Structure 1
């Protein structure tokens, strides 16, 4: 038990040394880029080999072009704010995959996939920029490594409880309560906070890249309409509700434009 407590203390000490350059806040992250990026790159390559990647079409080229513009905008922001080498280990890649799923995702280190199913919702280059900004933001903020770190702590807590509790019936009750409580009370809010953070960061960098940030709220209105209102309660979801996102993005759009003006961007696509 003492060893487990020591491990948790060490993990927390390491996490306290990590800072998100976009928010200035300390983050929970035990995993260095040198450890997590090679795993992510290998998994990404495997995914591409096992799925139907769309190449040399107007849509595929647009995904790549928008991704490059937004990642370049992120580099500009980081350099201007005292983090010029922050992206040195990143290997940006943007691929379109033929799949009806309405989704896009990003792996650590900048490996991004758009599914063709999301294109009717994005509708335009601006819509793609909203989604791309969000996905690039996940990579910039190390959200993948943070989720892994939180999962590690959740597992350590479960192990510690099982070692400390000797009575089998009490231990079973603990496992049920801990599993539900740590998921609803910690893991899901943690995930929702990442989504909100990615929305905010993504809005700023898409604006610096020259895309109109007011498009973000419009895209999520289309996402809401596409879902038909079918969604779990927010507290049971990994993502904020559509209405929460629309309200946030509407509120943040003017400040995103102001941020872009610092980089000489005064007109938007």
Structure 2
């Protein structure tokens, strides 16, 4: 079994790929594998979380997501669900799934700021960060089971969900690595700018997130990401190039008007 597993991994390593920014990645699972895991995980979250029935807020979040997704080639409409929760958080999963917690709307109080968060989460999916996470988990657990069987066995279901970014308590999001976060910042900023959202508002959002730390516990979105100072500095450096994309998008008529 160990020899077979090693052979599978060697074959996967030969087929290792690059992220959208050119960073090397080792991905052991197919897009179909990840889509299936994302769909299963999202279904479980919807069963355990309180889904908002507020039509206006749902329309608002869907409108922003649709505007972002419209800039992606070869993709259809993503499923977007708004959860009633004080969490200032959001996530995206393979298979075109987006979850937003109502607590986030209290901080990201403009369409551009919310687009910054959703764009960042979509970027994690586009860059196949979940596949990287699951692949690393399976490499770590090399002696437990064949990697290609991991997604179908109930005994490793919860570890697979944790690797995808979902903790033991469904809906609690685990942090990505620094490289992945920086990559999602860069790609997400580009995506929101191309869709006609103001990239400068991403910096404003994170400053507001930092200010929200005044309480006993920082917002969940902030607690699972790099320090706000590091993120603000990185985003600020990326804004000039993203602003060029934003101006081009506006000139071409891409002016989202999702409102609230």
TM-score > 0.5 by shorter chain: yes
Gaps of 5+ in 2: 146-173
- Other-structure match for 2:184: 198
CA separation in 1, counterparts of 2:57 and 2:9?
Answer: 47
Relative distance call for 1:229 and 1:143 in structure 2 (3 A) is: farther
Q: CA RMSD in A?
A: 3.0
Gaps of 5+ in 1: 76-84, 160-187
> Can you list the C-alpha shifts for 1:6-41, whole angstroms capped at 9, x where unaligned?
454233223x2x233x31343221111111212211
Contact 1:196 1:240 in 2 (8 A): no
Match of 2:202 among 213, 216, 234: 216
> Can you list the C-alpha shifts for 1:139-197, whole angstroms capped at 9, x where unaligned?
111111111011112222899xxxxxxxxxxxxxxxxxxxxxxxxxxxx9962211111
Normalising by structure 2, we get a TM-score of 0.75
Bigger Rg over Cα: 1
Relative contact order (alpha carbons < 8 A, sep ≥ 6): 1 or 2 greater? Answer: 2
Contact 2:79 2:96 in 1 (8 A): yes
Match of 1:227 among 179, 203, 213: 213
Contact 2:195 2:249 in 1 (8 A): no
For the residue of structure 2 that corresponds to 1:54, the secondary structure is coil
Q: How far has the Cα of 1:259 moved from its partner?
A: 3.0
Structure with greater proportional helix content: 1
Relative distance call for 1:60 and 1:53 in structure 2 (3 A) is: same
> Can you list the C-alpha shifts for 1:185-226, whole angstroms capped at 9, x where unaligned?
xxx996221111111101011011111000001101111111
CA separation in 2, counterparts of 1:64 and 1:32?
Answer: 28
For the residue of structure 1 that corresponds to 2:29, the secondary structure is coil
Paired residues in the alignment total 222
Normalising by structure 1, we get a TM-score of 0.72
- Other-structure match for 2:12: 11
For the residue of structure 1 that corresponds to 2:92, the secondary structure is strand
Match of 2:106 among 107, 120, 127: 120
- Other-structure match for 1:42: 40
